[in-house]
Amino acid sequence: MSIPDSEFHSLANASDLEEGKGRPVELNHHRIALIRHDGKVYAIEDRCPHADASLAFGPVENGCIACPWHFAEFRLETGEVLSGPATCGIRTYAVRESKGQIEINLDHNADGSLHKTEG
């Protein structure tokens, strides 16, 4: 990923994010769920496409998170939907840990590609 340092924004203290637990945060009108799973931090859109539930408090297992309302499953790395009732995936964000902070870039996916513009 070659995103300049200046394009990352500090979002939380790294020590505040416990293994296996999500945390909802908001930045510039983006609802984001931060999740630490197997030691790695993920940032995903905190809005289930089925009925708008917050995904931050869903159970995390095997690289996936389940929606706490009706249990649609999403892959943390890609946001891909794995099981319904949601019929589409969610956005991911480029995220990193640096100097004790969790930092995010709102314009890029976890794989470093640019988000597609909506419409």
Q: What residues make contact with ligand FES under the rule CB under 6 A?
A: 48, 50-51, 53, 67, 69-70, 72, 85-86
Q: For ligand FES, give the closer residue by CB, 38 or 52.
A: 52
CA distance 11 to 116: 22
Q: For ligand FES, give the closer residue by CB, 53 or 106.
A: 53
Q: For ligand FES, give the closer residue by CB, 48 or 76.
A: 48
Kindly state the smallest distance separating residue 70's Cβ from ligand FES, in Å: 3
**How many DSSP H helices and E strands does the chain contain?**
0, 10
CA distance 16 to 1: 25
**Token pair belonging to 90:** 């969610």
Kindly state the smallest distance separating residue 52's Cβ from ligand FES, in Å: 6
Kindly state the smallest distance separating residue 9's Cβ from ligand FES, in Å: 27
CA distance 13 to 113: 25
